[in-house]
């Protein structure tokens, strides 16, 4: 079955280290998204991509970067991890750009702790 996976599922790192969270989908979806979830904030958009070589900043993009070299993967990099980036990170994908339904399907999430 097609799916969206994230790795690692849990990560503890130290302040200042570079961290990369992986997201891989096998639906062949064009759209991919990264969100972070914090208590009291719901989910907030970090970066997104509408296709290979396309990346865009979301609401809370400072300190994060993404690259899209193929359809299946959108890795999220924290250039220099900060304690404020301790959060749960969700990757999502959707199939139908420009279509009314265009439902996003989410990966299982990565819990990142920055000490």
Binding site for another protein (CB under 8 A): 31, 33, 35, 40-45, 48, 50, 58, 88, 90, 92, 94, 97-106, 108-109
Q: Which is nearer to another protein, 34 or 85 (CB)?
A: 34
Residues in the chain: 115
| Cβ proximity of 110 and 24 under 8 Å | no
Which residues sit opposite 36 in a β-bridge?
Answer: 44, 89
Task: Write down the least CB distance from residue 1 to another protein, Å.
Answer: 15
Distances (CA, A) of 42 to 29, 32, 89, 90: 24, 19, 12, 12
Task: Write down the least CB distance from residue 16 to another protein, Å.
Answer: 28
Q: Which is nearer to another protein, 40 or 62 (CB)?
A: 40
């Amino acid at each position: 079955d097609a799916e969206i996976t994230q790795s690692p599922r849990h990560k503890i790192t130290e302040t200042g280290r570079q961290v990369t969270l992986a997201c891989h989908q096998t639906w062949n979806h064009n759209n991919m998204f990264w969100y972070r979830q914090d208590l009291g904030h719901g989910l907030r958009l970090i970066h997104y991509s509408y296709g290979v070589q396309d990346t865009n900043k979301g609401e809370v993009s400072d300190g994060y970067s993404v690259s899209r070299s193929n359809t299946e993967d959108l890795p999220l990099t924290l250039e220099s991890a900060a304690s404020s980036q301790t959060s749960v990170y969700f990757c999502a994908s959707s199939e139908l750009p420009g279509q009314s339904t265009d439902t996003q399907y989410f990966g299982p999430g990565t819990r990142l702790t920055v000490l």
